[in-house]
Amino acid sequence: MKELLIFYFSGTGNARQVAEWIRESVVRKDLKCSLYDISRTDVSEITINSDTHIGIISPVHGFNYPHIMLDFIGKFPKGHNRIILMDTRAGMKVGRIVTVGLTGIAFYLSALRLFMKGHKIVGMIPFDMPSNWLSIHPALRGKALDYIYDKNHLRVEKHVKRLCDKGKDFTALREFVQDLLISPIALLYYIIGRFFIAKTFYASNRCTHCNRCIEQCPNSAIIKKSGHPYWTFKCESCMKCMNICPARAIETSHGLVLLAILFTSLISSSAIYALLPPLFDEKWFNFLVINIVLFSVMGLLYHLQHYLIRTRLVGKIIRLFSLTHFRWWGRYTKNDSCYLPSKGKDL
């Protein structure tokens, strides 16, 4: 390896941090290394020599790379480069152990697409960085973050050494069986989950309209609608907006999710068992109807919430049913990493 170009997508900074650790380790070996944030990079404008190694790193969303990374890989030029695929997964600290996440189809789908473009895959490496999915659990803080960061920093050194010594590192293949087993979930999340989750984020009446969330969203998924931030279906659930909001106004509407599920259960039960003939009483059809109803209900409730959120009483009720509203839930701000500009080369 003479030169390494790393292309990364990062919301709260996990993937970027791993990329920076790798660059530090590679540079110490007197090799060239540059970082590129794919949300601000047009790969067609970058000169990539045939003997240059390529690193690709992104968080895993629903056991696959997020759409923004898949789109980047789809546009990546044909060539004969050696490519190292990496990801960051949801790690948690249990005693002195960092729990292991699951990659799913992220590496295998992307490896196939890049192989068909003529490239050679020489690495598949997962990193279990601190979980930042604040819609699901409180933010990790303090010693837990430091411990997980230190463990992964050491792992970066080990993997870089292996790549330099042996020219390849397929650590991820140890988890091939479990990744294969959860692959259907990855497909369902890509088709269904990401669109549903996009409508769980909102800005409470704490919002000062600084537009930071809109300006810094890596996928341009947040727009102004009726003078208030509005999340579109382009949202990748990267959690950047929630963590950089200086007013802590961006939250997850857990109450809205519960309400949507309740209405969906009532409506779909009536539609399936009362209004439709027995011919349609099949599991696949039930699943289809339920999800159509769920998306419709969630969309309508989200629109309603968007216009009512600025009403003092309604806004207060919505916040009380949003776990992310409470101070103890926290935000993911390891050394304010998501506030800092990348030290890498961003084009």
Would you give per-residue pLDDT tens digits along the chain (347 residues)? 889 999 999 998 999 999 999 999 999 999 999 999 999 988 888 889 889 999 999 999 989 999 999 999 999 999 999 999 999 999 999 988 999 988 999 999 999 999 999 999 999 999 999 998 899 999 988 889 999 999 999 999 999 999 999 999 999 999 999 998 988 888 888 777 778 888 999 999 889 999 999 999 998 999 999 999 999 988 988 999 999 999 999 999 999 999 999 998 888 776 665 656 555 556 667 777 788 888 889 999 999 999 998 888 999 999 999 999 999 999 986 544 443 333 333 32
Based on the domain organization, do 164 and 234 belong to the same domain? no
Question: Domains in the chain: how many in total?
Answer: 2
Cβ atoms of residues 5 and 36 within 8 Å: yes
Task: Tally the C-alpha atoms within 13 A of residue 45's C-alpha that lie toward its C-beta.
Answer: 7
Instruction: Of 227, 248, 219, give the one whose Cα is nearest residue 325.
Output: 248
Say if 344 falls within a structural domain.
no
Look at residue 183 in the predicted model and tell me its pLDDT. 86
Residue 346 lies in a domain: no
- Supply 304's token pair: 């309603």
DSSP track, 195-264:
HHHGGGEEE-TT-----HHHHH-TT--EEEETTEEEE-TT-----HHHHH-TT--EEE-HHHHHHHHHHH
Look up the pTM and report it: 0.89
Same-domain check for residues 143 and 68: yes
- Residue 343, in any domain of the structure: no
- Nearest alpha-carbon partner for 245 in 196, 206, 219: 206
Helix and strand numbers (H, E) in the chain are: 12, 11
Say what the pLDDT of residue 43 is.
Answer: 85
pLDDT at 271 (0 to 100):
62
Both 26 and 151 in a single domain?
Answer: yes
Q: CB pairs under 8 A, 24+ apart, for 95-101?
A: 98/128, 98/147, 98/148, 98/151, 98/152, 99/128, 100/128, 100/175, 101/60, 101/126, 101/128, 101/131
Q: Tell me, what's the pLDDT at 81? A: 96
259/141 same-domain check: no
Domain presence at residue 338: no
- The answer to whether the CB of 114 falls within 8 A of the CB of 72 is no
Q: Is residue 285 in a domain?
A: yes
What's the pLDDT score for residue 341?
A: 33
Residues spanned by the domain of 67? 3-181
Length of the chain: 347
Residues 176, 221 within the same domain: no
Q: Give the integer Cα–Cα distance in Å for 163 and 291.
A: 45
Indicate if 314 and 234 belong to the same structural domain: yes
- CA–CA gap between residue 118 and residue 328 (Å, rounded): 50
